[in-house]
A = this chain, B = another copy of it.
């Protein structure tokens, strides 16, 4: 397998043929950038995965429709500050109108535009701000604009999240760039046409829509769908991938090129997923919860998600408390089928629970692990060969502060 090279300061515009901008349209009272535009100089093939929330936001409804219709994409616009969710027929109309505005300003078909929103739920979009967003962003589009764009999509994020990798396929450089945002309301279950997490991925590989769709969902399942900050899934989660084909490297299933590209794509998406958890609201810890040797995959999934979402585990992590009783309690109520007497638990490599009881490791050794910024909890069911892992954060005072702040 060839090397995946991370580019310094990489972003969606590290990919030749993609321009981007991030501007202040006025959605945020703070005056911080709140409108991002990613533009492909040529029609790009594309795919998308979206929230599975029943109350899916207007732009999600439109985005799904566009993915079903197929065709090409030229622009992906994202505003931060208003989610355009629970806004009914007018919300949908406003999302369509945003595409029309983009089309006019960019001189592309409205059907080649996808929009996404994040922010407050239940408030109608102030369309004058959308107008203003495009007015400012279109002239600002540039091949250096990726990092500006990633700053403009932040909400409670403390750092912008962009990445780009380069791989060589048959002697030719293929680039994948991406940006994401999301620090709260994060427990994505992306489904084909699911946090508010928003992600835009660009590439110059030559991949058609159907192949992109076949790559995007499994990669989302092994990245964004594996993370949880607060267990709350959003109405607006959207991941859009655009491929402009400029490298002329054709990606078709069953080829070596496909495997290379898939690995690079997964690497990009996992890196951003990790960064989202690291930057989760109030997070001070990054904890990988891993269930191994389960009889059925679904048992591993239930068990890992229960521990990763347990308030008692998350507060213990915050408190540097090695209390494994909370881990076994969560495994026990998860609904997973396993034999407690065969269950072994490790904090990193340190044995914690052996055969369902205390492994007898001195507490100071456990403390050494749980005091770290990042550690792995492995729950070994000793019954089969199925496994699953989830990336989670701790639950801190800062989380409560961020989310209890009156902000209606």
Q: Give the residues from 276 to 333 in chain A that come closer than 8 angstroms, CB to CB, to chain B.
A: 309-312, 315-316, 318-326, 328-333
Do A331 and B232 form a contact, CB below 8 Å, given A86-B357, A184-B312, A312-B184? no
Instruction: Tell whether A218 is near chain B: CB-to-CB under 8 Å.
Output: no
A395 CB within 8 Å of chain B? yes
Q: Contacts A54-B338, A320-B406, A321-B404 given; indicate if A399 touches B85 (C-beta within 8 A).
A: no
14 cross-chain CB contacts under 8 A: A54-B338, A55-B329, A55-B332, A121-B328, A122-B328, A122-B358, A231-B309, A232-B326, A235-B332, A311-B311, A311-B403, A319-B404, A395-B404, A396-B400
Q: Are B403 and A315 in contact (CB under 8 A)?
A: yes
Most buried by B among A231, A353, A407: A231
- Beyond contacts A315-B403, A316-B403, A363-B408: 5 other A-B pairs, Cβ-Cβ < 8 A, are A85-B329, A234-B329, A321-B405, A397-B401, A399-B400
Q: Give, as a whole number of angstroms, the nearest-CB distance from A287 to chain B.
A: 14
Interface bracket on A? 35 or more
Tell me the dominant secondary structure on chain A's binding face: loop
Chain copies in complex? 2
- Min CB distance A361 to B, Å, is 11
Residues on the B chain within 8 Å of A338, using CB: 54
Is B353 touching A86 in the complex (CB atoms < 8 A)?
yes
Q: A52 at interface (Cβ–Cβ under 8 A)?
A: yes
Most buried by B among A121, A234, A311, A401: A311
Closest residue of chain B to A407 (Cβ to Cβ) is B321
Q: Nearest Cβ in chain B — how far from A351, in angstroms? A: 13
CB proximity of A365 to chain B, nearest CB, Å: 12
Name the distance in Å between A291's Cβ and chain B's nearest Cβ. 13
CA distance A328 to B85 in the complex (A): 10
